[in-house]
Chain A
Amino acid sequence: QQQVKQSPQSLIVQKGGISIINCAYENTAFDYFPWYQQFPGKGPALLIAIRPDVSEKKEGRFTISFNKSAKQFSLHIMDSQPGDSATYFCAASIWRTGANNLFFGTGTRLTVIP
């Protein structure tokens, strides 16, 4: 059972365009929502994160929009660049015995065409 649902599975965007990736969750106990970026052969790296008491967070060209009532959040990449081509994972965090547990979406492979 996937605790965090992510779409689309793949996305192709022209350089300069906007990339949008969507995620949804059911468990209202999640208290932290990070996005990770992964390049081939590398481990995931934190890109940006948001807490559920905030509706939007922006860092450079990357913005998270968060809708608590709908239990949805999305990543927007403005002015997409070929260097943004990677796999993106949304995640949700919950405190379990002794530590935060992260539940990941299934990933979105983004290709930015020059």
Chain B
Amino acid sequence: DAGITQSPRHKVTETGTPVTLRCHQTENHRYMYWYRQDPGHGLRLIHYSYGVKDTDKGEVSDGYSVSRSKTEDFLLTLESATSSQTSVYFCAISESTSSGRKNIQYFGAGTRLSVL
């Protein structure tokens, strides 16, 4: 999985509790992304980062926040988890080069989150 580690791999939590998912990369890639995968929706972008402390919203960002304090780590936080946030969460990374390679995103193995 292209030097990407997601933790935890599985988590069960209760509605209203805060949850933080971690993505760690060893590739020194500039760009990092968080997606959620749900049946019938494919993968949808939650937030992304284009550098340390540089982040922006994706198409389904409500209820989520992110932080990136160093190149290798990108954290996704659910401030107060809801049942609608039960999903599989994927982290992805991509390079920063002058060629088209920055278009290629490499995905981690995912975190399965259940909010009861």
In the assembly, what is the distance between CA of A44 and CA of B90, in Å? Answer: 9
Q: In whole angstroms, what is the CA distance A30 to B92 when docked? A: 19
Rounded to whole angstroms, the CA-CA distance of A97 and B58 in the bound complex is 10
Chain B, interface residues (CB within 8 Å), range: 20 to 34
Residue A100 at the B interface, CB < 8 A? yes
> How many chain-A residues does the 8 Å CB contact rule pick out?
28
Within the complex, the shortest CB–CB distance from B67 to chain A, in Å, comes to 16
- Known pairs A49-B103, A101-B45, A101-B58; A43 contacts B90 (CB<8 A): yes
B71 at the interface (CB under 8 A from A): no
Chain B residues positioned under 8 Å from A106 (CB to CB) = 40-42
Question: Would you call B1 and A101 a contact (CB within 8 A)?
Answer: no
Q: A43 contacts B51, CB within 8 Å? A: no
Q: Is the CB of B48 within 8 A of A101?
A: yes
Would you call the interface of chain A mostly helix, strand, loop, or mixed? strand
- How many angstroms between the C-alpha atoms of A49 and B106 in the bound complex? 13
Q: Report if B25 contacts A (CB, 8 A).
A: no
Question: With A44-B43, A89-B43 known to touch, is A98 a contact of B54 (CB < 8 Å)?
Answer: yes
Among A93, A97, A98, A105, find the residue whose CB has the most chain B CB atoms closer than 10 A.
A98
- B residues touching A (Cβ–Cβ < 8 Å)? 1, 4, 31, 33, 40-45, 48-51, 54, 56, 58-59, 90, 92, 94, 100, 102-110
- Beyond A100-B31, A102-B105, A105-B42: 17 further Cβ-contacts under 8 Å? A4-B42, A6-B42, A34-B103, A42-B109, A43-B92, A43-B108, A51-B100, A96-B56, A97-B56, A98-B48, A98-B50, A98-B56, A99-B33, A100-B105, A101-B58, A102-B43, A103-B59
A: residues with CB less than 8 A from B are: 2, 4, 6, 32, 34, 36, 41-46, 49, 51, 89, 93, 96-107
